[in-house]
Amino acid sequence: MTLMATPRVCVLRAPGTNCDVETAHAFSSCGANTDRVHLFRVLESPGLLDDYQVLCIPGGFSYGDDIGAGVIFSSQLRGQLSETIGRFLSEDKLALGICNGFQVLLKAGILPGGAEAWATDTKNQSPDATLTWNTNGKYTARWVRLKIVSTNNVFLQGLDELDLPIAHAEGRLVPRDPEVLSGWFANDQVGLCYRHRPHDGQVSGNSDTTPAASDPLLPEPHNPNGSTANIAGLGDPSGRVLGLMPHPERFLHATQHPRWTRLGLSGDGDGLAIFRNAVQYFA
């Protein structure tokens, strides 16, 4: 029998976060020791993060998105917790941001550059990208099909395609310039992309949003927010950090899929594998 180390996971929540319980449950279901920790506790005692191997910022509406999605939360990571976050990123640890958490990681500067960029750009003066309003100008909640692009990211190992739900208003990833986008692909940082349904036979990677034959529960277009190059998730160069707009914690069981009876699904949902990969990394 192979014994596996049990990582400790910090699900870091802030005022307005609302997906922390489900996210903690997902990690615990895969064998991790998981704590839901309020940001204010870490601000009081930054050394708390040193005791964890995985940092996850879950979805929700931190600080009500009052001045922009993830802006206040990210400023606290970049400000009061800059040294603590830098130390965490420099070690052999993992970080995951889901939906609002992705917005936080990106706007703080943890993504896309990871530890090296964090150490050299202490004020995050020249962000490579942002997550902004969906092209439809409204909050969008639906299921999407995703193609795994990265072969390097820890969270995505062994995966090919996923069905996951989204629920966001500011999920459109926009890089600063075409060179930044090219760099992400060259460095294997593009984690996953929106794609057409399987019967459409067309993988994302272009701006085509021609509707495919669709189920009423899974409407097209395949890119729900207009994200550049259909990118739904982005990692750092090390492959130990991932941010994604879809919610893997909302598809842990087959019966959570809107078409589970038609497709004859049973067992685990697609999202569970992302959390399992994080836990197994520390085996």
Q: What is the pTM of this model?
A: 0.91
| Residue 1 within any structural domain of the chain | no
Beta bridge partners of 172: 132
Q: What is the pLDDT of residues 44-71, one digit of tens each?
A: 999 999 999 999 999 999 999 988 899 9
| Rounded Cα distance, 150 and 190, in Å | 6
The one catalytic residue among 196, 222, 247, 257: 247
99 close to 22: Cβ distance less than 8 angstroms: no
115 close to 55: Cβ distance less than 8 angstroms: no
To the nearest 5 percent, what fractions of the chain are helix, strand and coil? Answer: 35, 25, 40
| Residue 3 within any structural domain of the chain | no
| Rounded Cα distance, 211 and 42, in Å | 46
247 as an active site residue: the answer is yes
Task: Report the pLDDT value the prediction gives residue 124, as an integer from 0 to 100.
Answer: 62
Closest by alpha carbon to 27, among 119, 110, 122, 94? 94
The one catalytic residue among 99, 168, 170, 193: 99
| Residue 172 within any structural domain of the chain | yes
196 as an active site residue: the answer is no
The CATH number of the domain holding residue 118 is 3.40.50.880
Task: Fill in the DSSP letter of residue 199.
Answer: G
249 as an active site residue: the answer is yes
Q: What is the pLDDT of residues 160-202, one digit of tens each?
A: 999 999 999 999 999 999 999 999 999 999 999 999 865 443 3
Q: What is the pLDDT of residues 215-259, one digit of tens each?
A: 434 444 689 999 999 999 999 999 999 999 999 999 999 999 999
Residues 71-103 as b or e (16 or more Cβ within 10 Å = b)? bbbbbbbbeebbebbebbbeeebbbbbbbbbbb
Number of domains the chain is built from:
1
Domain that holds residue 126: 8-280
| Residue 69 within any structural domain of the chain | yes
| Residue 20 within any structural domain of the chain | yes
